[in-house]
Amino acid sequence: MSIVISKEKKEVGLLQTVKEISGVDVAGCLQCKKCTNGCPVTALVKVPPSEIIRRLQLNAGDSILSSDLVWMCASCEICYSRCPMQIDMAAVIDALRMISIEKNAAKQKGNVPLFNRWFLKTISIFGRTYDLGMIAAYKIGTSSYFQDTDKFPMMLQKKKIALFPSFKADRKYVKRILKKKK
Ligand code: SF4
Ligand code: SF4
């Protein structure tokens, strides 16, 4: 019986999981830092986008999940539009968020995971965001009942927020997408 020894290097761990969820291969990153230089939150985070990619390339492990950019990324896609290798950083960050929640690695301080959870919850119920419902749930979760409520009449008047959810979306279709993403 012959034994075949493959020289092929196997991808393991977080790098592979991110690739499977996001469909993004970060191997081609040149570390040119164009993403970092254009990112609007770079000045606010300890680990900028290009370094997240570098750490993923080096398979630095689950410590990446606690990077502040994972929860501060605004999904603006500026990095993607600047990247010469067309690496979709926002999709990578989304994957890191999903893994972080799954592994319960979301940072305890800060309310972004709570906001994110209710944002997705309203989408799963109504097929699109229901801002008022999401804000109410967030306020209950953070006990910040009266914070910024003075802006509510003005937002209502300018039709920036709706009192009732919209039922126009194809909820079954959205549910299928969310199920596929799990
Ligand atoms: S812009 Fe693209 S290639 Fe350059 S560092 Fe960022 S992810 Fe890598
Ligand atoms: S998508 Fe996120 S990482 Fe990319 S530029 Fe915007 S905030 Fe920065």
Sequence letter at residue 165? P
C-alpha to C-alpha distance for 149 and 32, rounded to whole angstroms: 44
Q: What pLDDT was estimated at residue 59?
A: 85
Give pTM, 2 decimals.
Answer: 0.68
pLDDT, position 20: 93
Cβ of 92 below 6 Å from ligand 1: no
Best residue for ligand 1 mutational test, from 22, 31, 77, 81 (most atoms within 8 Å of Cβ):
31
- Rounded Cα distance between 33 and 30, Å, is 8
Full domain range(s) for residue 17:
13-102
Per-residue pLDDT of the chain (182 residues; tens, 9 = 90+): 555 555 555 445 889 999 999 999 999 999 999 999 999 999 999 999 999 999 999 988 888 998 989 989 999 999 999 999 999 999 999 999 989 888 877 665 678 778 888 998 999 999 999 999 999 999 999 988 888 889 899 999 998 899 999 888 888 888 888 877 66
Residues 78, 23 share a domain: yes
Instruction: Choose the final residue of a domain: 34, 68, 102.
Output: 102
Please report the pLDDT score of residue 111 as a whole number.
82
What's the half-sphere exposure (Cβ side, CA atoms, 13 Å) at 153? 1
Please tell me the distance between residue 100's alpha carbon and the centre of ligand 2 in angstroms. Answer: 18
Residue 177 to residue 94: CA distance in whole angstroms = 15
For residue 107, what pLDDT is reported? 60
Which residue from 7, 10, 25, 182 is spatially nearest to 91, judged by alpha carbons? 25
- Indicate the residue among 102, 123, 140 that finishes a domain: 102
Instruction: Tell me whether residue 4 is in a domain.
Output: no
* Residues 66 and 23 occupy one common structural domain: yes
Query: How many angstroms from the chain centroid is the CA of residue 5?
Result: 39
